[in-house]
Structure 1
């Protein structure tokens, strides 16, 4: 008994320090997540609260809006994640050994969109894409091309949204990759140079294997962010034209806050959670099997 009291006294300060964060986590993250799972089995609106079992999930399968949002979300992931990884490591390799001032300048330039509000960034791009007074069409006219209605064409609008997401998604990976490259000993490159290895061989045999843990983190985080795309869609296209830019999160928002169908929206959230979990699991399994920590 005395031993238990001594241990409790020993660990009590630590528990007191983490209690505020733990309390906020349980109250604002864990509890809402559990509650969302619970109400996904209900037809829950402002006027109705009826247990319906798996009917919400079955309805998702037959809902053309959700199916389109699902495939659009997968397209966001396929377009955004590989580009973020390739572009980020390419920029990092170019700038990391250019001197402290030059490296810091480019890191700041690419990181500015990250610290900026996504709403502000989206509104700026909305002005850039404006078909009448937008900067994009101004330069198109200067170069002798006709003006383009950027956000009115289905394929064009999707690519425009992807481009905006990428502009504020690459900042953090570039920072991470430059830090990872700085931790690679120059002795590896010196030995490779003595053996006659070129730039490409150095990258494939030294740089790429040693930054794989960072790549795993970047891939997982970029995938989660791509699945959670909402603000850019809401402010630029509202899911249009013809649903070409909608996503699961945007459909969830519409059903929850516009149609007040909270049970159905919660079912979408549960499905999205499962999709992210499964994909992240396989990303860890595939990539960690090739990483030596």
Structure 2
């Protein structure tokens, strides 16, 4: 066959830079990005700018780092930071321990009974924070009719002014957090436990492992990614705690329960010091970011996701 009769080579069609699937993907992602920019990035940038100003509704004055200097020389700021650190150091580890223990205890039950227990533990998270606070105010009532004081009277112990004394007010908030805020952690831990292959436990039983050996050698290492996640989110939530202190004690007595979140709220909406409040919020953001980084660096080095 001569060259003239050979069919011409068909050039491959160029793939378009954007396909319809790409455009739809970017469209859906774009909605999330827009919301992220509007409700996260813009408020963050605005807070940083406001922290450098003596904020006024009409015509703010630029003051530079004055709000930060005021914050670092304010004894109440350091006290609120100390209160928050103490609250976090006690509540977060105990919350993880309680959630982990409860999740293990309900695992032997049938699926329907597990669901009943998970619903019971998660119920406080569904209830309104105000309604929950009203219940705990009755529990902590300083009169003999308060539930905790009734228990003390039953054991012939002196009644306590739980929320009105600087010795017991912080302890009261910790007990409230520990007894009413574990539902989400229990559900997450239960999901992690259900993902463990039974062959590990069967092999351990053949080797004569005890219950505690199974927990420490099998369960805990395999749920370490879940523990790290709950640890990081728990610390972040604990540093941002506001409702408990605001509703139960208002930060008192003698600022014994003033958390840094409550301090920022009071500066902004009680004393109208928006610049100072934004400066403290920026500092809180940096502290949370630094602690989260350290947690991932120290506890996440051998974690596989």
Matching residue within 16, 22, 28 for 2:33: 22
Matching residue within 42, 49, 54 for 1:38: 49
What's 2:177 paired with?
165
CA-CA distance at 1:44 after TM superposition: 1.5
CA-CA distance at 1:4 after TM superposition: 8.8
User: Matched residues in 1 for 2:59 and 2:86: separation?
Assistant: 35
Matching residue within 268, 277, 280 for 2:289: 277
User: Matched residues in 1 for 2:19 and 2:50: separation?
Assistant: 38
Q: Which structure 2 segments of 5+ residues have no match?
A: 1-12
- Cα pair 1:66 1:248 within 8 Å, conserved: yes
CA-CA distance at 1:72 after TM superposition: 0.5
Match of 2:61, SS state, is strand
Matching residue within 219, 223, 237 for 1:207: 219
Q: What's the TM-score, normalizing by structure 2?
A: 0.90
Match of 2:253, SS state, is coil
CA-CA distance at 1:45 after TM superposition: 3.8
What's 1:81 paired with?
92
Matching residue within 49, 55, 75 for 2:60: 49
Distance 1:186 1:5, change over 3 A: closer
User: Matched residues in 1 for 2:90 and 2:15: separation?
Assistant: 55
Provide the aligned C-alpha RMSD in A: 1.9
- Cα pair 1:113 1:167 within 8 Å, conserved: no
What's 2:233 paired with?
221
What's 1:140 paired with?
152
Higher relative contact order (CA 8 A, sep 6+): 1
Name the one with the larger helix percent. Answer: 1
1:107 aligned to 2:109?
Answer: no
User: Matched residues in 2 for 1:38 and 1:225: separation?
Assistant: 25
Figure out how many residues of one structure are paired with residues of the other and give that number.
292
Q: Which structure 1 segments of 5+ residues have no match?
A: none
User: Matched residues in 2 for 1:47 and 1:141: separation?
Assistant: 58
Show CA shifts across 1:176-220 (max 9, x none): 111111111111111111112111211111011000000011101
- Cα pair 1:122 1:164 within 8 Å, conserved: no
Matching residue within 143, 146, 165 for 1:153: 165
- Cα pair 1:119 1:232 within 8 Å, conserved: no
Moved more, 216-225 or 96-105: 96-105
Q: Which has the larger radius of gyration?
A: 2
Q: What's the TM-score, normalizing by structure 1?
A: 0.94
CA-CA distance at 1:6 after TM superposition: 4.9
Show CA shifts across 1:118-142 (max 9, x none): 2221121112111234222233333
